[in-house]
Structure 1
């Protein structure tokens, strides 16, 4: 049998059926029938492994299953990643129903992939808003023996602008709404022509907002990006030439599909417009108090037979998206006496990381340790994920 060339191997890897799956949400009074595209890691057939629902950042689409697939296999976990509306093949929706569509997607998706309970929710950046709502509405999808949620600013959570003072998010919030309607096109140009390595939300957003700010003569502080110590071989598991082709080709595939959702997503994150609905996460403190209240009720109903919910927040050493004030606000929400009575909260800061490398760097970032933690919790629970 003739060995595949590097190009053929790269294409075969990117075209794996696990990376290109879809489901349909039924029509409701709020929206027509909607298509949602998603992916799983290629080890998803191994039902002995715990399942992680990854709720990604703005550009953390279903291709994260490819980027984190080798690590997931090494650590012994499975991953599900979803294209939010307007990304990949997911049908675009308005700002007023964006959160509602996400909440409708979660139970339909888990049924589609045959998973009753997951080991953990894992989120990064803008995914925080969706994750808080998911936890508040669907606590029962977590393994009752080891319920775990990790916020990695996923690694540093997206924090509402009034509480963060992040330089980039603050500048972006001042941009005219009409200019944000061009964000997807600008991000595509920046990520395919100017700085193709910026595959995570912070790199794309900061570079794009920097360019927009220059157009309207608004200064954005320059921030030195933390160098990524992960090689393509370490990330994808192929020889250097093939691994680099996988990275390059996957980027082309991602931006050849729709990224129009970025226009709505950036306005959603910045709460641009009266119709933006963050659901229960409109006020983080109120939402997190609600999560704690749900935990108290859950333990009463189960006669305290289940484990306490564990929430871990991993922060970058330097984060231009939320800044130190945003980190303190997020930590304080979880550390209140009311929440602490029912939820175990852990926090740590990873040296030498920024908004992107905390998730993209597999050595200095948080992904490996979080995956290993979830795998260990699965083994200790004895049940792991059902499905």
Structure 2
């Protein structure tokens, strides 16, 4: 009896302990859940905050305010990575325009999207005895050709020619002009995080034969790691020279393998030129697959405006970069340091697609960049 009583007397204490333990566990689970929700909310809020800046007005001038007076009669070459690509062609057109305004003769040479083509184009430029070279080809694939140019005292300015903007002595570039690809990748990822409310399923694609492309795509991956509710489904690297053959099949395979909704990033809008027709032909709903591009070519603006799969692009100011390339080459020819100017990324969305040059399907900042460059060159606008 006494034993039974003792056992019964201890039972309420055990139950009380159990209840206390359960409350502790429940509180811990609740706290963990709240913390997880708070963390998810924090990353979404952070992404939304950044997007306001990325997609905002571009009317301030942050470029150089002085420059040496250009010497007329210089002969230069623009070695285009690939003239079938909108951005590369646009750089050549604007470089020719800016060069002529200061009395320079510009020759555009097509590198045809391959290292062999780039080296051939470089040799052609050297044979022309040019005073300077501007190139959008990947400098890492041009070490011997660049070394030959350096031996002949031919300065080289890159556009998207290296992993990062600014001077690159190792690659032989006086300077490299581009938005910072780490920021571009972050802007792409931020849009995905915000649009999905922190629950995106993502395929990241790249063309890693270009240092800038790999840097950009890896930055997307790094930012997505901060989003606990997001899932990186695949990281796909394929040569840009093969996009026409490979991308239609690839994008449909991702839909089949991973289902929808699905986000797909690209380091260049050019890639999406071949994904969109495949999605349309397979009658995939526009809201099921959202494409996130970069560069800001004409077709990207058209797709964003019409809601044809591509949701956004991080646009490059191709014409302003061309004017900057002429300015930087002029500084090199005067044995002066680079200007140090780096344009911040600009995110084109359905809401601002017609702003900042978007009405003409290009990113042209409303900061009077042509006027500023002509003024510091001592030329009447």
**Larger relative contact order (CA 8 Å, sep ≥ 6):** 1
Rg larger in 1 or in 2? Answer: 2
Shorter-chain-normalised TM-score: which range?
A: 0.3 to 0.5
